[in-house]
Structure 1
Amino acid sequence: MRLIYVLDALVICSWLVGASGAAISNAKVAHLAAVAMVALLWIAVLSLKGARQSQILGVGSDEYKRVLEASLLTAGLVAISVLAIGEPLRAELVLLGVLPGMVTICLERWLLRRILHFRARRGAVLSRVVVVGAANDISYLVRQIRNKSASVYEVVAAVEDTGTSLQLPGVFVSYNFDDLDSLIEAHGADAVMVAGQLQAGSAAVQNLGWDLEATGTELILASSLTNVAGPRIKLRPVEGLPLIHVDPPSFTGTRWWIKRLIDVVLSTVALVVLCPLLGVIAVAVYLDSPGPVIFAQRRVGKAGEGFVMYKFRTMVADAEQRLDELKNFNEGAGPLFKLHQDPRVTRVGTFLRKFSLDELPQIFNVLRGDMSLVGPRPPLRNEVEAYEYRTFRRLLIRPGLTGLWQVNGRSDLSWEESVRLDLYYVENWSVLGDVIIMWHTFKAMVRPAGAY
């Protein structure tokens, strides 16, 4: 934590001093004081926005969001002061100081996150936790922590309070709630995480919080609101009763139009920039095997409406006709058909699939409005016919060229995990989240996993 304070301060001071170089060289005391005040304001706003809270460090996009919000608020306050005061404040402090400094702080946090993940692979974590709750809740929570938050939390022990058999590799499991204090001490835990409803009821959570006060151990409650992210959850205490308000997901309004504008602009730019590459791939597909260069397939889009999705052909021309003879060898999850070694895939197709280059023609679908750059995976009609009730929520927004499924393993995902990721995106999408997913997609293309 202290390292983050120091690094933030160094970045802020460096950019503000650099933006005010001319004035400082003339040793204007008033301007030096103004620069110092802006630096202190920026550091304070970062703290007020919670950009250094341990709960958000190392995982998710909330850390970056708070840095951006705090920096833009600082820029706004400085801009207003420039208009109101003039000298000694200058517009350069915003244009050449705060705005590029904001990007640098995000880069600093990204680098720290990489270091944190590197250390996590060698056993270093921010918090060691003991998980308490029912068997199913504990298993799900531990699995998600190991998959998504391994650099932040390490589950060192668990207390299963219903007496059900629970097996967690590498984790000591107790079935006696009275063992909690000794487990915390024995494993050096600094947090207790409650997974779902305790058998003893809500009073047990309150009593647990009181018991942990003396030890300085943090109490963390895992929300039972599956797939609902923090920004949609608001706590409103009414007469001592903490009520949780859940905002509905957003599928209209300004953010929705911004998402569409980004789709149009970036897809247009991508088509112009990638035109030579698209030409090279088209020639390679044409020369590799007989058949059309583009594979057109009916998919299901927003609100269940069908559309034609385009891809570079990666299989032999009669692949659809040969599907029946391979169905008994299906290795895909749920209603998906996948084979690690599909004999219908061509030589060029193998390369294109590995680096997701076969998906590039879908940029035309994005420009047309059939798809978005980021969204749920575009399903086939037979997949939709096998959907359960909740799975239909995938169709509330346009399917994506990429998405959480693309950057979390693709074909290596189970059907349940693929659905969960898509539903999470539908419920909690944001413009900044889309940008982060696109960045992770680029990394996934460079270092592919689960693509075949």
Structure 2
Amino acid sequence: MESPHLSLSLQTNFVEVKKYPWWKAMMDYGIGFLATVILLPVFFILFFIASFDTGFPGIFQQERIGRFGKVFVIYKFRTYHSITHTKSEVGKWMRKTKLDELPQLFNILKGDMSLVGPRPDISGYYDALKGNDRVILGLKPGLTSEAGIKYRNEEEILNQQENPLQYNDEVLFPEKIKMNLDYYNHLSFKNDLKILLKTFSVLR
């Protein structure tokens, strides 16, 4: 985990970042709580399936970069076998349907994430942004985004490349930055609703 001094220095670099909208917090906690209550039975079923399929517990945890570069722990259903480290058939299905992302509702309720915002990435990407691109870090990572929708099959795209890491660093990530900057510059309740509805439509 990062030191308090690092977190403070990161926040002082964002004096011009837009104030976090009140409606966004209301949407996150309101829809997040309602979705958690409604989907709780589904969560327990998937938890037991993932635990049986990949090993107990069926929850995957990993450090990701959050708002102002603060590190947080993201939750997902485990899709890789804990012993063989290979993706299970059930795991493939959960990734395709994005059901493995369901535990991130708890990240939203904890305040680490938002319903809509840049998809959370590992260290070395968003926290390494320079200049005006760093305003993206003024947003909480999101469960969905325009970039997340466009590259929802990112794993398949990368698997088709001769050098997946280079393609991600030189093509995909720069494109995500552009899309996330556009989201930041046009932040609105209407736009968030549009992205949420678009997410539901592509997942059906």
TM-score range, shorter chain: 0.7 to 0.9
Query: Does the residue aligned with 2:75 lie in a helix, a strand or coil?
Result: strand
Deviations 1:328-387 (A, max 9, x none): xxxxxxxxxxxxxxxx21111100000111111000111111100000111211324553
Partner secondary structure for residue 367 of structure 1 = helix
**1:297 lines up with 2:62 in the alignment:** yes
Residue 288 of structure 1 aligns to a residue whose secondary structure is helix
Residue deviations 1:49-92 (CA, integer Å, cap 9, x gap): xxxxxxxxxxxxxxxxxxxxxxxxxxxxxxxxxxxxxxxxxxxx
TM-score using structure 2 length: 0.77
SS of residue matched to 2:62: strand
Distance 1:415 1:382 in 2: 11
Q: Give 1:252's aligned residue.
A: 19
CA deviations over 1:285-325 (Å, ceiling 9, x no partner): 11112242111111111111111111111112268xx7xxx
The residue type paired with residue 114 of structure 2 is: S
Structure 1 position 405, deviation (Å):
1.3
What amino acid is aligned across from residue 425 of structure 1 in structure 2?
Answer: Y
1:347 aligns with 2:89: yes
CA contact (8 A) 1:312 1:358 kept: yes
| Pair 1:377-2:100 in alignment | no
Question: Does the 8 A contact of 1:292 with 1:317 survive in 2?
Answer: no
Match among 8, 15, 28 for residue 263 of structure 1: 28
**Structure 1 counterpart of 2:180, one-letter code:** D
**3-state DSSP class of the match of 2:202?**
helix
SS of corresponding position for 1:382: coil
Does 2:159 correspond to 1:408? no
Q: Which amino acid aligns with 1:353?
A: R
CA contact (8 A) 1:298 1:307 kept: yes
2:134 corresponding residue in structure 1: 392
Equivalent residue, structure 2, for 1:356:
98
Structure 1 unmatched runs, 5+ = 1-248, 323-343, 447-452
* Cα pair 1:264 1:367 within 8 Å, conserved: yes
DSSP 3-state at the match of 2:55: coil
Q: What SS class does the counterpart of residue 129 from structure 2 fall into?
A: coil
Give distance in 2, aligned partners of 1:318 and 1:389.
43
**Paired residue for 2:191?**
433
Contact 2:55/2:81 (8 A) holds in 1: yes
* Matched-pair contact (CA < 8 Å) for 1:375–1:398: yes
Q: Percent identity?
A: 35
Question: Could you tell me how far apart the structure 2 residues matched to 1:353 and 1:252 are?
Answer: 34
Q: 1:270 to 1:390 in 2, by over 3 A?
A: same
Indicate yes or no: 2:48 matched with 1:283.
Answer: yes
Q: Any conservation in 1 of the 2:17–2:138 contact (CA below 8 Å)? A: no
Residue 129 of structure 1 aligns with which residue? none
Q: Indicate the SS of the match to 1:274.
A: helix
Counterparts of 1:69-80 in structure 2, within 5 Å, are none
1:407 deviation in Å?
1.8
Q: Which has the higher contact order (CA 8 A, sep 6+)?
A: 2
Which one has a bigger Cα radius of gyration? 1
1:17-416 paired onto structure 2 within 5 Å: 251-252=18-19, 256-317=21-82, 344-384=86-126, 386-410=128-152, 411=154, 412=157, 414-416=172-174
Deviation beyond 4 Å, 4+ runs, structure 1: none
Structure richer in helix, relative to its length:
2
Aligned residues: 173
Which amino acid is 2:124 matched to? N
- Pairwise CA RMSD: 2.1
